[in-house]
A and B are shown apart, each in its own frame.
Chain A
Amino acid sequence: MKGRKKVVTAMDALPARSKRSSPPKNRKGAPSPLDRAMGLGGRPRIETGSAAIADLGTAPSPQPTMSEREALDRIDLSVDIAPERGLLLTNPILVASGTFGYGVEYGEVVDVQRIGAICCKGTTLRPRAGNAPPRVTETPGGMLNAIGLQNPGVDAVIDKYGPIWQGWKVPVIVNIAGESIEDYVEVAKRLDGVPGVAGIELNISCPNVGKGGLQFAIDRDAARAVTTAVRRATELPLLVKLSPNVTDVRPIAKAIEEAGADAITAINTLSGLAVSSDRTRAFLGNTYGGLSGPAVKPVALRIVYEVAQVVSIPIVAIGGVTNLDDVLDFLACGAVAVQVGTAIFADPELPVRLGDELRAECLRRGLASYKPLIGTALPKRTGTPSAKGAEYRP
């Protein structure tokens, strides 16, 4: 990137910015007034689709010079996503549950210690064999999965991975699932105090056997009840993950906040279906699958945007993140951090690279921290919360 050296001096001269005084206007690559003042163009973009090599996305960026390196290192990407209990990340790019296993599988090709945090595969009280194959299929701009929460059970996860995670710099958040409140509580209790476990992410998109199979995530009272119960069972930082498959997510998010969650993560997959090639049945062994990938990003953005206006706990955004623009979009809609999921399959180095790119973006904009990028697209909170977004309910 051209002109970085100039930015270094410019940044050093710049006063700390508040998000009100300088909303970043440059998300889509057009030079902002600030950039123009500093003689900078928009962020260069790699043209995709033209030549094979351009799609690699792994081409090494030009080595930063010494002073650039120092300036980059000074930029603060750290964030505490559970301020009351403490879950401090060195950067706001996490990997999403179910797409990064237990953090060990990609170890040969990814420097996992440089990821903000790892959300591990959904973990249940007892081992689960998961759904019948096939379990995944590609769809336009995304994929469907129906893994069925295959996992060895919480005790085996603790035995096998706890000691490994304990030695890691990167925090590991255990994603947990259950079919009853008692299940969730028991899993949380067993994780409480386990070295190497930095937090819990509640996957509430599971059928509640006690309530006729209705998902916890789509029922405000069930979501509140399970969050309350797990909150009592553990002192670990508690993240609760929202499902997009609801009419209005806001009352559910509020209930979760009131029940004591430290943060909200959103979104889980959208319910979908694919048909077999001979059109005699559904393609996936489980019939239904969860849609993820770029196709769900607008839905995730809408939900983050809505939730950000009704809760004050941190929001970690998930859904279709594939590049820095996606990260900046989610931050602008009020997320303090993002998770990368499906995109890892094509580009395993993406989560680490996004951290680097966010750092470079801050430098380019003369920001000492990425925090001013948060919430810039939200309606200004002057009076009562906006009802925008509630109007269009297809």
Chain B
Amino acid sequence: MTMRLVAAELVDSRQILPGQWLQSFHAPELASGARAGQFVHVRTGDYSGLVLRRPFSINTADAATGIITLHFRTVGRGTEWMTRVREGEKLDMLGPLGRPFEVDPRSHHLLLIAGGLGMAGVRMLADEAIRDGRSVTVLFGAANAGHVYPSSLLPDEVEYVVATDDGSMGHHGFVTELMADYEAWADQAFACGPHPMLKRLAALAAGRRERMGVAKLGRRGGGKTDATGSAAARRKSFLQVAMEQTMGCAVGACLGCTVIGVDGPLRVCREGPVFAAEEISWEAIQ
């Protein structure tokens, strides 16, 4: 679906965690065309000198009701302004933008890994996968129990595994440490979160091929290599990551949002935000 400027009407807004909000918007144009991994660029109030839109992952999209949801944390004046928008008011959204996650048709077991707000990046993929009859495990990491994404907001079919830095809920440690228990089960993994988390996951995914043995190599598409950035390249990759970067235009015009890829700079807004882990030059990522 091509991008467009849409007037999205706020229909519901609630704080689901301290400083974290879930807002629902009536925006049928976005709800029917968007895919998991894509994002919208939201214009904030034209006051106090805010000049840039804010990018948000499309958290969920329901074509039947025309509703999309955004999940965000108040990090500055733009997001604070959004929490004060009232039901019935309309926000100017540009979207859907970027490239989505690509699930290999042969993948039955999907592992979704999210760190904190990264849940918003993979949340919609859970819906899509369950709709398509796949089984989904979500690994989620947060600082403490107070920041754990409520399981009530996930589909019932999902297996939900939590890690907290302080051990106040679930596994005591990083979410990446849970990967070992699931890498054999998973056919593909999809992650969103802080760059160090993604970097660690990419290293684990790179080593997985050897750990799994030759048998698993067969399904990686033979000798033919797919063009970097192509949907096919992502589809064949075990680990896909949704990256974040500060943005200007969000349509590929300003080159403000790049991350370093193995073949040079990649625009998160255009070539991404979803990349095959192999496309990213992880040494360059802090």
Q: Which of B239-255 contact A (CB under 8 A)?
A: 245-255
Question: Does any Cβ of A come within 8 Å of B90's Cβ?
Answer: yes
Question: Does any Cβ of B come within 8 Å of A346's Cβ?
Answer: yes
Chain A residues, CB < 8 A from B145 = none
Chain A residues, CB < 8 A from B86 = 52
How many of chain A's residues touch chain B, expressed as a range? 35 or more
Q: Is the CB of B51 within 8 A of A294?
A: yes
Given A53-B89, A138-B50, A294-B49, A346-B43 contact (CB < 8 Å): yes
| 3 cross-chain pairs, A with B, having the tightest CB-CB distances, nearest first | A101-B253, A141-B49, A49-B47
Q: Is the CB of B92 within 8 A of A55?
A: yes
Query: How far is B266's CA from A135's CA once the two chains are assembled, in angstroms?
Result: 13
Majority secondary structure, B binding face: loop
Task: Tell me the smallest distance from the CB of A27 to a CB of chain B, in Å.
Answer: 20
Query: Total interface residues on B, using CB and 8 Å?
Result: 44
Q: Is the CB of A135 within 8 A of B258?
A: yes
Query: How far is B53's CA from A344's CA once the two chains are assembled, in angstroms?
Result: 10
User: In this complex, which of B4, B50, B51, B256 has the most chain A Cβ atoms within 10 angstroms of its Cβ?
Assistant: B51
Query: How far is B284's CA from A263's CA once the two chains are assembled, in angstroms?
Result: 42
Q: Is the CB of A147 within 8 A of B90?
A: no
Given A136-B257, A147-B255, A293-B47 contact (CB < 8 Å): no
Query: B residues touching A (Cβ–Cβ < 8 Å)?
Result: 2-5, 7, 10, 43-53, 85-86, 89-92, 94, 245-260, 264-265, 270, 284
Chain A residues, CB < 8 A from B44 = 55
Question: Does any Cβ of B come within 8 Å of A39's Cβ?
Answer: no
Chain B residues, CB < 8 A from A346 = 43, 46, 51-53
Can you list 28 A-B pairs with a CB-CB distance of less than 8 A? A48-B45, A49-B47, A52-B10, A52-B85, A52-B89, A53-B7, A55-B43, A55-B47, A99-B249, A99-B253, A100-B253, A101-B254, A105-B251, A108-B2, A130-B255, A130-B258, A130-B265, A132-B284, A135-B255, A135-B258, A142-B49, A142-B51, A145-B254, A147-B256, A342-B248, A345-B53, A345-B249, A346-B51
Q: Is the CB of B92 within 8 A of A108?
A: no
Task: Tell me the smallest distance from the CB of A320 to a CB of chain B, in Å.
Answer: 9
Chain A residues, CB < 8 A from B264 = 129
Chain B residues, CB < 8 A from A142 = 49, 51
Chain A residues, CB < 8 A from B5 = 58, 109, 348-349
Q: Per-position contact with B for A117-150: 1 when CB-CB < 8 Å, else 0?
A: 0000100000001101111111011110101001
User: In this complex, which of A100, A121, A345, A347 has the most chain B Cβ atoms within 10 angstroms of its Cβ?
Assistant: A345
Query: How far is B50's CA from A294's CA once the two chains are assembled, in angstroms?
Result: 10
Extra inter-chain contacts (19) besides given A48-B47, A100-B253, A132-B284, CB under 8 Å: A52-B45, A52-B86, A53-B90, A56-B43, A98-B254, A105-B251, A105-B253, A106-B251, A133-B257, A133-B258, A134-B246, A135-B258, A136-B256, A138-B50, A342-B248, A345-B249, A346-B46, A348-B94, A348-B251
Q: Is the CB of B245 within 8 A of A134?
A: yes
Q: Is the CB of A56 within 8 A of B254?
A: no
Chain A residues, CB < 8 A from B3 = 108-109
Q: Is the CB of B256 within 8 A of A145?
A: yes
Choose one: B2, B10, B46; the contact of A55 (CB below 8 Å): B46
Question: Does any Cβ of B come within 8 Å of A57's Cβ?
Answer: yes
Task: Tell me the smallest distance from the CB of B248 to a CB of chain A, in Å.
Answer: 5
